[in-house]
Chain A
Amino acid sequence: MRVVVCDGGDRRLLGTGQAVDLRPAEVDADAVRAAIRGAHATVTIDCPSPSRWWDRLGSPGDGTGPLDRVVAAARSCGHRPAVERELATAERALRALSIDAVDTDATRRRLADTGTEVERLREEVATARGRLQSRREMDADTADAETALADATRRLSEAETERVAAEQAHDAAQRRAREAREARERRLRLQDRVANRRRDTRRALATRVQDAFDTAVDAVPGEAKLSTEPLEIVGSELTAALAAVRVADLDAPVVDTTDRFDSAAAAADSLGVPVVRV
């Protein structure tokens, strides 16, 4: 590895070899990570380009979960548990599933509104009938009252027709929603299967590197233990992160901000990969 900084037109070599300490040069971890990816404006690091597992492993102490690191380490070593095929199948089926809308909000509202309107008009008809009745009893003129009753009756009949139409529309919408929920039911089962297979995959990967991890912990500072029942890491997360690096098959340099090693060289030696100390 070769670390160069470009200041204006001026190129300055900051370090070479398996272990480079950039603390004197005051280059921060983000800049180093960008440079390792080949994406920094001024700092250039000549090194193998990072693999897809490097994101999770290359910066111990960056907040990545310790189990995620162990899983990434196992993958970097080429482990491919059989359950992963089932996972892929379930994920494919999940992606292929199409989900229709099951919303019956509009028909529910229409049904409720038409029901209220029918109730209101029934009362209006009763009132109009009462008025007509009392005018008849008083021998008063009934022409207006008759018109009002006829009018209310006609509107009630229209509202009742509308209510029947609303009921039919709602029944149809509910039937469609019921059928569409079958797909949601399947999706939920697939989501659960994906989650279970993903858990199984992680457990299988962790199990594959469990011995290597225990050995690696002995070679790095601190204490950590990987257990698979339940799947967890007990002890120092940082130690686990360093052990995962040692287990992993990485080419690109690791960015060490941990203060766990006496020197960049000691870190490179312990982790078995090139190290940039910042």
Chain B
Amino acid sequence: MLLVVTYSRGARTSLRNVCRRHDAATVRQFGRAALLADTEFGAFLALRLREKHGGDVQIERTQPLNEYESVPESIREAAAAYEAREQPSTPYTKFAAGTDHPDPAAMQDREL
């Protein structure tokens, strides 16, 4: 999908108008950002916004995350284990210490 983020009042207003007018091409609208359909028409709308508002419009292409495909098992297991922890107040770093769960700093350095 196309993620459109706006950075000025004018661009935000234009984006809202586009979303209102083109319901079918709008997957989701959040305040000053929106997800547009991954179609030529979605791109057409996004590019029109950028043409009109220049650098006040950021366009990214997103895709749903399939964690079973792109996230190592150790990360998935760590997330599940941490959310199932007994002490809600335990920070993750402490939770992971002395276990096989990955260290946050190490995770930050590794790209997916």
Contacts and interface: CB of A to CB of B under 8 A. Distances in A.
A188 B55 contact: no
B56 interface: yes
Interface stretch (B6-14, B22-30, B85-93, B95-103): B6-14
A43 to B, nearest CB: 42
Nearest to B56: A184
B7 A103 contact: no
Contacts of A177: 55, 58
B49 to A, nearest CB: 14
Given A188-B7, A191-B9, A103 B55 contact: yes
Given A181-B7, A195-B9, A188 B54 contact: no
Chain A interface main SS type = helix
Q: Most chain-A Cβ atoms within 10 A of its Cβ — which of B6, B8, B32, B55? A: B55
Interface string A187-204: 110011001000000000
Contacts of A103: 54-55
Contact of A185 (B7, B9, B54, B55): B7
A106 interface: no
A188 B58 contact: no
Contact of B9 (A180, A181, A192): A192
Contact of A187 (B7, B32, B54, B58): B7
- Chain B interface category by residue count: 10 to 19
A102 interface: yes
B23 to A, nearest CB: 25
A215 B54 CA distance: 51
Interface string A98-127: 010111000000000000000000000000
A160 B8 CA distance: 39
Contact of B8 (A101, A188, A195): A188
Contacts of B32: 188
Nearest to B32: A188
Interface in A74-109: 99, 101-103
Given A103-B55, A177-B58, A188-B7, 12 more contacts: A102-B58, A103-B54, A177-B55, A181-B7, A181-B58, A184-B56, A187-B7, A188-B6, A188-B8, A188-B32, A191-B8, A195-B9
Interface of B: 6-9, 12, 32, 54-56, 58
Interface of A: 99, 101-103, 177, 180-181, 184-185, 187-188, 191-192, 195
23 contacts: A99-B55, A102-B55, A102-B58, A103-B55, A177-B55, A177-B58, A180-B55, A181-B7, A181-B55, A181-B58, A184-B7, A184-B8, A184-B56, A185-B7, A187-B8, A188-B7, A188-B8, A188-B9, A188-B12, A188-B32, A191-B9, A192-B9, A195-B9
CB-based closest 4 A-B pairs: A184-B7, A102-B55, A191-B9, A188-B7
